[in-house]
């Protein structure tokens, strides 16, 4: 399946326009002015990503005006709104929706997680009330079902077995996992509907008039927007002018769409110049044509078929569109339309959703996802992404993580090749060059030795656990390992001995300000133990495991490292061979990961840094969160507000990042490293001429720009893009820059790879796109 770019939307409290800036544009394939101000602003990373380039050929007033244009562009980019909150580690507060912290690898709807059925009690914008159908009131309601059998789950590279996730956390979604249901809560006979007396409902916030039931699994409905128009009146629909030119005495109407005319008889539906129009009702005034009117239903589709397993309105292809509301990615559930009764279904973990289709069960009308996002090539939602139903009516959002990687501890396991000198400080004599396994932390007193552990034998009397940032394990004999630590004076001390048991832990109190143990260390001796590929002698296993068995059942998230011993019980290597990576030298649960060359994340949230690269140096590098990492999942409706996490209050880009200083075209030495904004035409800017394929300097007609006009043109610049802001004269360039300064007001007309700008400096207009047949005026 192709990457479903349009299905995933960025979660943002500011606007969908700003949210779209989180996507990156790479190369000419993705370059489209509709995404502006992306890629010149990264709202997720809160960074500017552009270089403004002025033409060195501009002089006098022309140079001054180009500078004014550059300032306008920079001003617009600096005003882009971004979230004031961080991307993780903060509390999420949701009003009018639902949120839950979901442990990594878990389904979002399961025991102690989100409810599998969400109603207006959970998402306040969902409807629960009455409709009137043929003079009778009926109770109806809306529900969001999180299918228990077709999962939506939080996954890591290890749990999903997808190495390309690296240390990222993703929300994977199976086909049919997300279901919106329009429930008929009172017994109703839908097939009584007629064109004259239709069943009218709001489905996903869109008005539907069901005018006929064609079969148990097929309906016909009016789905366009209704317009009550007087004769001679014009309305704008989908950027086209629709005029009701005349209403006839027999119910006929004459309409005109951008100059294309057609007569529609009473009740007729026809496509006129790309728009579908239904002549629904009329009022004819024989005395005054101007007082005559008609009720027209107009849209890309005015009347459509709703059929079980069919695509949502407008869909007719595979689910691979870049449109954020691609109808091909959602399919209908339509059943029992000739039955009289209420909507009935069951939902279980074993069987998922089972629709009631017995004769006693009533109509079922629902919509479910027809896509799966369950591996890297599908690009499942990451932090800040949402899966949104059509019309943005409901969204399932991966808001944030409960911990921030910036706060992680760095725990390193490695061989200390000169341990005999440290042991001497503890009063223990070892052969020269003795080695030990060293566990170290980058934060003082975050490693603990559990002196009360059942398998630990203290060296003397110890009344309290020992806190340190260095622990050594040095094999004493085949059944006992010496446990050493560095005290507050920097001296090595023998704490005691351990064989097969827990002996230490990572201390939460020091890391997050609360008591408790995050990760425990367990030690196992193996004599002999062919755990690693080339291992032939004795070994010790050092295993890290979360202490909280409620969030992580025992054995479900173990990181085991295997250390080979040589004669004399000296720690010799990670795995069987020194300075050589082996799959089984680092094991997550039962999966060897020692030869994986990317970062990986465990269920607790521990990042195992490049096991292969670190393993070749007999080292294991772990980035350990201060607490159990969970995913903040938010269910949003149209009235939901979210604060904290990746949302919250907004600020402008100028408040969070310093804008890059502009340069001259002659100062750019490597153009492909930046997204370029080239101000000035090919007569004054060498790079503008180069990207337009012209010989510098190109004046007048040779520039390809008409008198009184300017262009905004996106060009491929390797993995980056170059945008040319150029006018026939410098005043025209300023006019184009004003369009970018006020990009939000011009958003509807910025589309394709190039547009033309006319008008005046105070009132510029985008009048044409060279990559689209549309012609629009701001």
CA-CA distance, 157 to 162, in Å (whole number)?
5
- Write down the pTM of the prediction: 0.69
Per the listing, tokens 């994340």 go with: 601
Per the listing, tokens 């020269």 go with: 432
Token pair of 483, please? 């446990």
Angle subtended at Cα 354 by Cα 353 and Cα 355, rounded to the nearest 5 degrees: 115
Preceding peptide of 235 cis, ω within 30°: no
Phi then psi for residue 734, to 5 deg, are -60, -40
Per the listing, tokens 């004493």 go with: 476
**Neighbouring C-alpha atoms within 13 Å toward the C-beta of 606:** 24
407 touches 609 (CB < 8 A): no
Closest CA to 542 of 612, 450, 472, 484: 472
Name residue 102's beta-bridge partners. 631
* Rounded alpha-carbon distances, angstroms, from residue 460 to 419, 426, 451, 494, 497: 22, 13, 11, 10, 11
Token pair of 650, please? 């907004």
pLDDT of residue 154: 95
562 touches 541 (CB < 8 A): yes
**At 187, is the secondary structure helix, strand, or coil?**
coil
pLDDT of residue 305: 92
* Rounded alpha-carbon distances, angstroms, from residue 452 to 124, 495, 525: 52, 12, 20
48 touches 77 (CB < 8 A): yes
**Cβ neighbours of 636 (radius 10 Å):** 26
Token pair of 715, please? 């060009």
For helices 730-741 and 60-78, the axis angle rounded to 10 degrees is: 10
pLDDT of residue 650: 52
Mean pLDDT, each 10-residue run in order, the chain (778 residues): 50 38 40 87 83 95 93 90 56 87 91 89 95 96 90 94 93 94 96 93 91 96 89 91 95 95 94 92 93 92 90 76 65 96 84 82 94 91 91 92 88 92 89 89 91 86 90 76 92 88 76 56 63 56 85 87 81 88 94 95 95 94 90 92 60 78 94 95 96 94 92 93 95 93 82 87 64 34
């Amino acid at each position: 399946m192709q990457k479903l770019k349009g299905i995933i939307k960025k979660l943002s409290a500011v606007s969908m326009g700003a949210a779209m800036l989180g996507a990156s544009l790479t190369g000419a394939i993705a370059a489209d002015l509709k995404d502006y101000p992306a890629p010149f602003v990264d709202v997720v990373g809160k960074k500017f990503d552009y270089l403004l380039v002025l033409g060195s050929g501009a002089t006098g007033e022309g140079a001054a005006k180009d500078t004014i244009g550059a300032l306008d562009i920079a001003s617009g980019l600096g005003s882009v709104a971004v979230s004031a909150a961080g991307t993780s580690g903060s509390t999420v507060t949701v009003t009018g929706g639902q949120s839950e912290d979901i442990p990594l690898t878990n389904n979002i709807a399961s025991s102690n997680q989100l409810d599998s059925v969400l109603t207006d009690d959970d998402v306040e914008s969902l409807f629960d009330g009455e409709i009137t159908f043929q003079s009778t009131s009926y109770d109806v309601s809306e529900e969001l079902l999180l299918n228990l059998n077709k999962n939506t789950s939080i996954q890591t590279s290890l749990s999903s077995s997808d190495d390309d996730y690296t240390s990222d956390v993703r929300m994977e979604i199976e086909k049919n996992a997300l279901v919106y249901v329009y429930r008929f809560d009172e017994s109703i006979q839908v097939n009584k509907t007629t064109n004259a007396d239709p069943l009218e409902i709001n489905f996903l916030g869109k008005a539907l008039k069901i005018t006929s039931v064609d079969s148990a699994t097929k309906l016909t409905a009016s789905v366009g927007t209704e317009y009550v128009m007087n004769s001679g009146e014009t309305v704008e629909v989908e950027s086209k002018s629709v005029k009701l030119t005349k209403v006839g005495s027999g119910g006929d109407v004459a309409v005109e769409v951008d100059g294309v005319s057609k007569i529609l008889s009473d009740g007729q539906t026809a496509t006129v110049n790309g728009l579908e129009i239904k002549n629904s009702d009329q009022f004819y005034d024989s005395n005054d044509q101007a007082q005559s009117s008609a009720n027209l239903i107009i849209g890309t589709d005015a009347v459509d078929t709703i059929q079980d397993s069919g695509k949502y309105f407008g869909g007719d292809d595979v689910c691979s569109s870049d449109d954020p509301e691609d109808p091909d990615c959602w399919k209908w559930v339509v059943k029992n339309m000739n039955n009289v009764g209420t909507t009935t279904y069951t939902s279980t973990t074993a069987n998922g959703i089972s629709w009631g289709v017995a004769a006693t069960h009533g109509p079922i009308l629902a919509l479910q996802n027809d896509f799966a996002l369950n591996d890297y090539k599908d690009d499942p939602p990451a932090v800040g992404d949402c899966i949104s139903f059509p019309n943005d009516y409901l969204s399932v959002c991966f808001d944030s993580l409960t911990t921030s990687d910036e706060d992680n501890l760095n725990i390193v396991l490695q061989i200390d090749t000169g341990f005999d000198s440290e042991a001497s400080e503890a009063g223990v004599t070892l052969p020269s060059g003795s080695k030990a396994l060293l566990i170290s932390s980058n934060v003082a007193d975050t490693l603990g030795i559990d002196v009360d552990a059942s398998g630990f034998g203290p060296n003397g009397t110890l009344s309290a656990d020992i806190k340190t940032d260095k622990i050594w394990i040095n094999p004493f004999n085949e059944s006992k390992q010496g446990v050493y630590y560095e005290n507050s004076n920097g001296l090595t001390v023998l704490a005691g001995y351990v064989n097969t048991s827990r002996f230490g832990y990572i201390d939460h109190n020091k890391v997050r300000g609360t008591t408790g143990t995050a990760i425990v260390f367990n030690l196992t001796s193996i004599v002999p133990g062919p755990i690693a590929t080339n291992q032939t002698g004795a070994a010790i296993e050092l295993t890290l495991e979360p202490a909280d068995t409620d969030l992580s059942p025992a054995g479900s998230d173990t990181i085991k490292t295997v250390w080979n011993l040589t004669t004399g019980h000296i720690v010799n290597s990670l795995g069987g061979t020194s300075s050589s990576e082996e799959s089984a030298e680092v094991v997550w649960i039962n999966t060897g990961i020692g030869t994986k060359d990317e970062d990986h994340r465990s269920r607790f949230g521990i990042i195992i840094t490049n096991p292969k690269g670190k393993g070749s140096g007999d080292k294991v590098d772990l980035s350990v969160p201060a607490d159990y990492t969970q995913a903040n999942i938010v269910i949003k409706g149209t009235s939901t507000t979210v604060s904290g996490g990746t949302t919250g209050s907004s600020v402008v880009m100028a408040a969070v990042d310093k804008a890059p200083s502009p340069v001259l075209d002659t100062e750019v030495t490597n153009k492909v490293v930046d997204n370029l904004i080239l101000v000035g035409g090919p007569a004054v800017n060498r790079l503008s001429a180069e990207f337009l394929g012209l010989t510098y300097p190109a004046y007048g007609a040779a520039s390809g720009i008409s008198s009184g006009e300017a262009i905004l043109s996106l060009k491929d610049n390797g993995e980056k893009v170059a945008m040319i802001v150029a006018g026939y004269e410098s005043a025209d360039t300023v006019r184009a820059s004003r369009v970018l300064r006020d990009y939000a007001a011009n958003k509807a007309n910025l589309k394709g790879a190039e547009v033309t700008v006319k008008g005046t400096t105070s009132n510029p207009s985008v009048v044409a796109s060279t990559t689209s047949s549309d012609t629009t005026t701001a």
